[in-house]
């Protein structure tokens, strides 16, 4: 059994509550897909991608948070290993959603750069965690 630190337990609790926001995003996506919310094909695809990334990355982020407790990492490296994916879970869906916002948008706006920032955090987080786990 993994013993969670207070910080990990608090973070996990907050992240678990964000699932309600992901559900709200799913309800919005259903309105878009049913035609009750106007959207271009580009917007539909970016909204779907944002919703999918949110769900998958929150789940992966919780796993990383737990696995990070099994490492000997400290300081910044422990933070990165345990929360890098969770930061990506904010940045990447935000990049998809915010870059598609606007009437009849058919290409992303500047918010699309959040996708790159999120991808960097995702990579950094899983690499830090992987190295930490391999170190013992």
The predicted-structure confidence for 89-135, as pLDDT tens digits, reads as follows: 999 999 999 999 999 999 999 999 999 999 999 999 999 999 999 99
Sign of torsion over alpha carbons 94, 97, 98, 100: positive
The predicted model scores a pTM of 0.93
The set of residues, in sequence order, having a beta carbon less than 8 Å from that of 29 and lying 6+ positions away, is: 47, 48, 51
Closest CA to 125 of 74, 45, 75, 68: 68
Helix (H, G, I), strand (E, B) or coil at 79: helix
pLDDT over 90 at 3, yes or no: no
């Amino acid at each position: 059994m993994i013993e969670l630190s207070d910080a990990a337990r608090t973070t996990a609790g907050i992240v678990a509550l964000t699932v309600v926001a992901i559900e709200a995003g799913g309800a919005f996506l259903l309105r878009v897909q049913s035609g009750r919310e106007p959207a271009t094909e580009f917007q539909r695809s970016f909204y779907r991608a944002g919703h999918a990334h949110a769900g998958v990355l929150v789940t992966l982020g919780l796993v990383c948070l737990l696995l990070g407790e099994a490492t000997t990492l400290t300081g910044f490296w422990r933070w990165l290993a345990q929360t890098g994916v969770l930061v990506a879970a904010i940045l990447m869906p935000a990049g998809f959603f915010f870059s598609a916002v606007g009437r009849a948008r058919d290409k992303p706006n500047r918010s699309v750069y959040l996708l790159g920032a999120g991808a960097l955090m995702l990579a950094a987080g899983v690499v830090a965690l992987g190295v930490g786990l391999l170190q013992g």
